[in-house]
Structure 1
Amino acid sequence: MIETVESANSGYRFMLGVSQYSCGVGALPGFTLERVRFSKVVPLKQGFAMIADIIKQAGRPLTSFAACELRSPAPFTEQGFKDFNEIYIKTLMEWGVMKDGVNPVARSNVCPKIDPPSEPGFHAFTFATVAAGAPNSFVVAGSGESAEGKGDYRDNTVRLGDVSPSAMLEKAKWVLDEMERRMSAFSGTWDQTTGVQLYTVQDVYALLESELGGRGAFRNGVTWHFNRPPVVDLEYEMDCRRVHIERVVEI
C-alpha cells in the first residue's frame, strides 16, 4: 500500500504529490469528506473567501480544506501554469494548510471549451467534517496523461501532440492506471467510487466501454465534462471520489 501522511488538524490524510497539489486525500477515522459545488464558477479570490465562510460555519478549521476542483479560461503554458500555482498556494500557506512546501490538498484544474470562465475560479471543493462511524471516503486528484514532478510536461507526456484513436487509447490507459494507483493509497477501487469525472474534448467514445467499462469505472456512471486539461497539449484527464455528503451552493 502506498504511504500516506496525516495532515495536521485536518481530519484527513494525503498521498504526496507535487507542490501544487497532493495526489489524493482520505478521511481519518471519525471524519468524513464533504463536497460542496458552486452553481457557477466563483473567481479564485472570492471563492477562497466563500470557502472559508462555509468551513467556519461548519465549525471546522481552515486546515480541514482537503480538495478542490478549479476551472480556468484556457490551457496554460508550462510557465503560465507555474505562475498560477504560485498565486493559488499563497492562500493555502496563509491558512496554515500548506507548510514546508508540502501541499496536502488534492486538486483538479480544467478548462471548459464551451462557456469558459473569464478567470480561474472554483467549481467545487471538499473538506473534512466530524462523523463518528462514517464509511471510508476519499478524493483522488485529477491527472492528465503526463507524469508529474518530472521537471516538465512536454518530455513526460504520453504521445504528445497525437490525438489519433490509438494515441487517445494509450493516454486513457495511462490515466486510468494512475487513478487506480492513487485510489490504492486509500484502499479504494472503482466499485467504491461515488463519482468519476472525465475531462477531454477529443472523441473517446470508442474506448468508453472497453477501458472505462472494462475496469468498472461506470459503476455509478461517468460524468464527461467537455473540458481540456490545464496545460497546453494535454488531452485527457480524470478524477474520482468516494464522498457520501454532497451539496450545491447557489451563486
Structure 2
Amino acid sequence: MTTPLTHRSGAYRYLPGGAAFSNGLAAEAGFRIVEWEFATPQPLEIAFERVGRELAAHDRGWDALAGVDLRSPVPFDLAGFASFNTYYLDLLRRHYPLAEDEHSPLARTNVAPVESPLDQPSVRAVQVVLPDPAADGTDFVLSGVAENRGALGPKNTVAYRDTSAAGWRAKVDFVAGELAARLHSLGLSTDDARIVDVYVAQPLDWLESVLTGTFGSIAQYGLHHWPARPPVVDLDVEIGCKRLSARATLTAQEEGRS
C-alpha cells in the first residue's frame, strides 16, 4: 500500500505518482475541496492565468491548487504524450511552486472527448483546497485511472486491443480495483465517493451495475458517463472519482463563487 505524503501547506495528503501528477489526494480536517469549472474548456495558458486571478480573489496562493481536469483534441501516441507532459510541467512550474526535480502533488484527469471542438489541450476544471473550520476532511480527488499497469505500452495494458465482452470486463475490473486501492491508501472507502466519472467512447449497458459493486454510492448519486477516450492511443477506459464540497463556474469576465 502506498503511503500518502502531507502537502507542504498541511491542507491535504496525496499519493505520489508520476512526475506530472499524483495518484490522488484527500483534504485534511479544516479544509474543503471546491471545483472551479470553466464555462467552456480553455487553452492551458489562458486557463492557468484565469485560475491565478480566481485564487487571488479568494486570497489564496497557488499552493491551494489541488487538481486539474484536462481535455485533449485526440489521444496522443506515446511520444506525443511524453512531450505534452513536459510542456504541462513547464507551464505548471511557472505558476505553482515546484522545484526543478520535484514531482507534482496535484491530481489530474486527461481525456479526449469523442466529439471534440478543441484544437489544443485545454482545461475543463480545477479543484482547489480552501480552509473551512467546519470541514471534516472527507473531500478528495483521485486522478483518472486507465487500464494500464506501470509504464505505458502494450505489455502493461490490460486486455490490450481487446474490446470483447471479456476484455471490457477485465479493463473495468482492473481500473475499479486500482481506484479502491488508492482510496484505501488515503484512509477512505469507495462508499465515500460522490462523483464517479467514466470515460469511454460508447455507453456500456452493464457498466453501472458492475461498478456499483465497488462504489455503493452510485446507487444514490449515479454514474457520470463522458463520451471520451483516455489520453493515449490503445487505452479504452478511464475512471475517476471524487467528493467535493462545492462547484462554481468560471468565465473570462466573472469571478467564480464557492
> Under TM normalisation by the shorter chain, which class is it?
over 0.9
CA contact (8 A) 2:203 2:225 kept: no
Q: Which residue of 2 aligns with 1:212?
A: 211
Within a 5 Å distance, the mapping from 1:1-251 to structure 2 comes to 2-9=2-9, 11-99=11-99, 100-135=101-136, 136-148=138-150, 150=151, 152-209=152-209, 211-215=210-214, 216-218=216-218, 219-250=220-251
| Structure 2 unaligned spans of 5+ | 253-258
Residues of 1 paired with 2:36 and 2:21: CA distance? 19
Tell me the SS of whatever aligns to 1:205: coil
- The structure-2 alpha-carbon separation of the partners of 1:127 and 1:245, relative to structure 1 and needing over 3 Å to count, comes to same
Residues of 2 paired with 1:178 and 1:217: CA distance? 17
TM-score of the two chains, using structure 1 as the length reference: 0.93
CA contact (8 A) 1:10 1:63 kept: no
After superposition, give the CA deviation of every residue in 1:12-53 in whole Å (9 maximum; x if it has no partner).
221011112100011123211111111111011101111111
| Structure 1 unaligned spans of 5+ | none
Number of aligned residue pairs: give it: 248
CA contact (8 A) 2:70 2:123 kept: yes
After superposition, give the CA deviation of every residue in 1:182-216 in whole Å (9 maximum; x if it has no partner).
1112222232112110000144222321x212222
What is the letter of the counterpart of residue 102 of structure 1?
A: H
Cα shift at 1:92: 2.3
Superposed CA RMSD: 1.6
Cα shift at 1:10: 6.2
Residues of 1 paired with 2:47 and 2:228: CA distance? 20
What is the letter of the counterpart of residue 241 of structure 2?
A: C
Q: Percent identity?
A: 28
Residues of 2 paired with 1:120 and 1:228: CA distance? 14
What is the letter of the counterpart of residue 118 of structure 2?
A: P
